[in-house]
Amino acid sequence: MAENENKNQPRPIPVDDSDTVSSYANFCRVTGSPEELIVDFGMNAQPMGSNDRPVEISQRIVLNFYTAKRLLHALHVSVQRHEEVFGNIETDIQKRVISKEAQA
């Protein structure tokens, strides 16, 4: 019986990340078509200042919707686990900014 149970469990997919290039992004844009999603990542050099310089897109990932849904689930679980340990992640920058009055 235990042998049948082992056959039904998913086995890890081997991954070779020896040639992986890491990059940082503080900007993300999602566009797409009926067949795929296009996710652009870039660096916004002026996130709080004027917008006179365009955001430089450094990476573009094209996903089909099946892969996008799996990524959505994996990101959701990861962020949920992080918030359970470290607390809520506030995405509204106005709520994160501490006014000078509140500091005094």
Q: Which are the contacts of 103, defined by CB distance < 8 A and separation ≥ 6?
A: none
What pTM value is reported for the model? 0.70
pLDDT band at 100 (very low <50, low <70, confident <90, very high): low
> Looking at the DSSP assignment, which residues form a beta bridge with residue 61?
39
Amino acid letter at 28?
C
pLDDT band at 5 (very low <50, low <70, confident <90, very high): low
Predicted local distance difference test score (pLDDT) of residue 67: 97
Domain ranges of the chain: 21-103
Predicted local distance difference test score (pLDDT) of residue 61: 96
